[in-house]
Structures are given as C-alpha cells and as structure tokens.
Structure 1
Amino acid sequence: MYELFPLSVASTIRNKKGIKKIFFSQQDGDDFIVYWLNQLFKEAEQVNADNQYITEACTIDKTIPYSMEVPIVGFNSSRFDISLIISQMQCKDWTISNYIGSPTQAKQVIVHHKKLNLKVKFVDMLTYLQPMELKQAAKDFGDGYDDKKGLFPYEAFNTDNVNEVLSKSEPFTMEDFNSSLQKTKISEKDYQIYLEDAKRFKNRWDYLQFYNEQDTYIMIKPLMTLISLQFKYKIDMFSFMSMAACSNAIKYAKAYEDFDINGVYPNFKDNSQKFYLTENYWQSKVRGYESQDKHQRRDTTNNVQDKDFDYFKQLFKDSNCSICGCKFTFDNKPTLDRIDNSKGHSKNNVLPCCLKWITGGLSNVMHRVNRSGI
C-alpha cells in the first residue's frame, strides 16, 4: 500500500522585475508548505502591484482600482498536487474563499489572505489544453523541449529514510529509477543525462531542488504563448475555467469586431402585434425573478410583486428595450434586466429589455444584432 506525502515544492514567478524561483522542502521543517504559501502571497503582492493603473506622473491611479486574483498555475495539479496541500490553505492568516470542483478534482481554488486582503487562484494549466504531458506542452507551445526538466527517482526512498537517502552525495543508481508503480525502467541514454546533471550538485537534495524548479520554469513560455493567443482578442485567459469557455469568449469578441458603439444602425422591422402585459404572464415573471434571486442568494425583500402589475403594464407599453431600443411585440417580448447584478429584481434595480436576447453570455451579442440589423 502506497501513500503520498509532501516532499518538496517549487514555483517560478514572473513579474515586471523578471523571473525568480522559490523552493521549499522537508529540510525547512514540517511546515514547509505553509512557508511556501506565505512566500507566494508575498510574490502575489508584487504581481498585483505590477498590474495597477499608473498615471502620467508614474503614481498609482487610485481612481481605477485593480484587484484580481493572482493565478498560481500548476500542471496536472488538480488532483494529487492540490490534495497534498489543501489542508494548509486554511489557517489564521488565509482561508479558502472559493472551491470549484469535486472532492477528487479541484478545477479552481481561490485562497484569500485575511491581513493582506489579497487573493491567489490555483488553477491547472491542463484546464486550457488537451490532455498531454508537460514535455509535449513545452514542445508545442514553448521553444521546444530539450531535456532540461531532468529525471528524479521518487520511489528510491520512503518516509523512514528520505533524509538519509537524499543527503548522500553520490548519484542515484540506475536501478533507483525503476518504477514499480508505472512499470517502467530508465534508458541508458536518460541515465547518462542524469549523471551529467548530477555532477553539478553537492547532494541529492540539491538535485531535487533543480529538478523541481525546472519542472515549473519550463511552464513559463507555454503559458505566455497561451495567454498571448487569447489576448489577441482582448480575452483574459484566467477569467475563464476551460479552453471551451475561452473559445466561446473569442467567438463573441469576433462578433463585436466590426461593431461601432457610436454608430447609428436601423432596427429590425417587426410587424407582429404590439405587446401588452397580462396578469398571468406578469405573475409567472415575478415567480421566476424570485426563484433566480434566491438561487443566487440575492436579497428578495424588495423584489417586484404581483401588485406591481399596473405599473409594469404601463412601463412595457410606453418603453422600448433599454439596451437595443427595439419595441416590444409578441415576437419580441419584454423582461426586466437588473442594473446592479449583485442585487435582486427590485423596482429601482430593473430596466425593461428584450426577453429573447437575455440568455446569459449571448445577451450583448444578440443585442448587437438588433442594433446593427444584420
């Protein structure tokens, strides 16, 4: 029976000052993961500062606040890696503010530092790729793969002898690289590459640090490539949770590509009967708004009610869509669009708009169709 335990952890940080690497292991004590998380928050402070809006006088523009979760990106980390560190993500200084996924797979974990009021977001790079090995990702999206990642025989030691084995200065033997879990053996060529690398280090702990740091460093260029591919369309990759979601956002960006927000566009010709509100229709809408808001845990105390029927009947009669300007007909029925999406459907937080265009992410794109008449 095998049991995984944390041995070491490394990160490569990229900010405006350049690239740096950090490494922590059991040599730093039993709380080395806590030390690593603490250092990550310090690095995240710098990344957050780098992204603040700067005035012409080279000072932070406080009128345009910037506060985004700083991404911490792993590779194939959503299962085993996260499970080994998630218990350290809750302590007196920081806490998990959002967890998306299942008990066995974390798609996204946001950790909030209580004192710094700063958030970091743990995501898996494979979220934005087809299933592949890190070696292949580096080759496809980086500058190619040149065996700099190295090799490490994790099955050559256990919890009882880890320090004894890793403190030795001589290289691992070829047999140490045999894996009973994966049923694999190291090739003579790969072992010779390891021996050349091992010559540069005082002991096996030092080689482990090199191996772990390279594991994260070779992710930088593939990540920057992926980010750049999305940013061509003004898409922030880390605002989405999958490759499909990014593709969807690009589709919408392309739909807006030739849209002039200051342009004058003709409306569709809608010859259907002018809409008039009925009590049954209004009551069904009221129930629907209340259900939506309760599901999203929004306050429904001041939500629109059945007794508001006369007010909204007149509003729909006298108004056009507040977004696209189209008139309301039985082919283009009205609904209520919230002004502040953090609040419920209260009378002072809604505007009339076209029902058939309010479909989640399609809303604005479909209103573009109304405005441009195409």
Structure 2
Amino acid sequence: MHTLRPALAGARRIVVKAGSSSLTTPQGAIDGDRIDALVDVLAGRRKAGGEIVFVSSGAIAAGLGPLGLTRRPKDLAIQQAAASIGQGLLVARYTSSFQRYGLGVGQVLLTADDMIRRAHHNNAQRTLLALLRLGTVPIVNENDTVATDEIRFGDNDRLAALVAHLVRADALVLLSDVDALYTGDPRLPESRKISDVRSEADLAGVRTGSAGSKVGTGGMVTKVEAARIATGAGVHTVLTDVSAAEQALAGEPVGTYFHPSGQRPSTRHLWLAHATTGQGRLILDEGAVHAIVTRRKSLLPAGVTGVHGDFAAGDPVDLCGQDGRTVARGLVHYDASEIPDLMGRSTRWLARELGPEYEREIIHRDDLVVLDPPR
C-alpha cells in the first residue's frame, strides 16, 4: 500500500523523542505499559533494518514518586535529586523492555554545555555513531543531575533536533500527549489541526503557548522550534501523539508533517546556529551587516562599532546591527578586551601599527553563520 509520506516509511535512521508525560503517570511514576508499547514499535522498526536513536525525557518525572512528590519541584537541587533517582529507574526499565527483542541499549547523557563545546559535541557524535554500528539502541537524555541551564533546555525537543543532525538522521519523530499542531489550544472548537507545514507561512497566526505538562518542561513552542532546526537541516519531521508512533514511522498521515525546508548544512554551521549561546555581542555598521548577511563575507575590524560582554578568543559571539537585532553568530579571533583598539581600523593599518599577526579578520566566514530568522 502506497503511503502518503514515503520519506518516513523509507527512512533508514530515525531519531524518536518522547516527553515525560508520554512515559509516566500523572503522579510521576514510570508507566511500564506505555514504555513497553513504545518499545514494541521502536524494536519493530529496528528489527526491520532501521536504525533508531531514542531521545527520552522522564528522569526527573520518574524520580518524583520515590521522593513522595506529586509535581515537578521548582527548586533546582530537588530537580537534580529527582533526576538522580529517576534516571536509573528509567534506563533499567528500557533495558528490560528492549531485551524482550534481544536488543541492547546504550545510555548517552548530554547537557547543553556538551552541545556548546565543540570537542564535547564531536565526542557525542562519535559515541552515538559507534553505538549504532554496534547494533544497539542509544537512549539519549539530558544530564539533569548536574546541569543547570540544561534543565530548561526545552524538554529535550531542541536536543532531539540537534541529535538528528548529529547522527545524520533521515527523520525525526516528536511524540507528545497532543496528536498534532493546532492553530490554538486543541481543546477549543475554533482551533484547527495543521497537517502539513511546508514553510513559515503555514505557521502564521499559530499560537503555540509555552507551558508543558505538570511533569515536563516543554510545550508546543519548543516542538515547533525543534522542527525548524531539523527541517532546516533537511530532516523530515513529524509531531504526533505517542499512541500514533507506529503509524508515524510507517509514513501514515498522522500528526503534523514538517517538510524539509533546506539543504543539510555542515555540522559546524548547525552547531553554531543552534547549539551555542553568544558569550557577548559585537555591534556592526550597515556595511558590515550587508557584507556578512548578503555577501557572506568575513567580519573585519573596520565594520565593528561596539563590543559588549566578557569573552575570550574562540568563544561564540552574536553579531548585531545598529538596531540591536542579532543577524549572525561566529567564533571570534580576539578577546573582548582587545577589540576596542581594533574597531574601525583596516587590517592593513593594524598590521603596520601593531604587527603582522593583527592582519586578520575578527571572525572568518568559515566560522560564521547567518541567523535566519534571527535568534
């Protein structure tokens, strides 16, 4: 039977992400039946010759019950304590469930810092690809026990999109407790289901909100952002309810299908755009903004009019126009303290006055990515 989404049905390598509310009871306990049902689907695709990377939330949620908590705590230390208990319970449950099919699992815990630091980023990529070559199912989760900013990383949605690019996945399936993206609150009769998203125009007027379930951290806004990241990297993406996982992987027309919107960029550029945070800001004149955004040129000292923040050479920094809007991000070649003496000067003047080592750009075009839309 011909499917309406052959790119999903024929995908060889798929990243599947499930949120906390899809894996646990409302009270926070691990829902064994739900996990087994999802593993049945994933193992089926794996046995059929596909490769699966499973990005699983639920560590904090799984730790709530043993601690006698009924909701996700606001206190960071309690969140981390819950994660330290819940992560072991969660992986043990996955291990036993996948063993029913003779499949092993490998746990990969990541933080936002692992994505920001390029060496860590490359190590994560090598580990994930090695696990796939060895025939196991990588179980990826955020390392909630030690992270701080990572706790608010987006309920693993953005992480799942970055992992999809990291492993060169063909498809990303985001499983939620909502069956699709709607124009508004799906509980309201005036809200309309969106079956396909081919461009930003299809999202015009969509109200995604920001809050997730009482045991999770995400919301529809993080899932749409994850879909933007993935489709911008050429990855076919589906958002649907966890109960429709099998149909989504089979290419059936369930949920919302986000069509790829761009060619797969280099890992370096995707890493810069979506996995880093600017450690400072450089303010550019109009000519420099045009050179970077339109002509894709390097940033020279002559085009810089201001510097903000405390950063070191090699750090990612945001490049802003005179209106303060961020237009690009790149890896800077100078410390923040050095740049004021370079601003507005030509590289030839700098080489003559300060030495030949200053005859270079502030950011080389190979280390620079235009942010479109700006972030």
- TM norm structure 2: 0.27
- TM norm structure 1: 0.27
Bigger relative CO (Cα 8 Å, ≥ 6 apart): 2
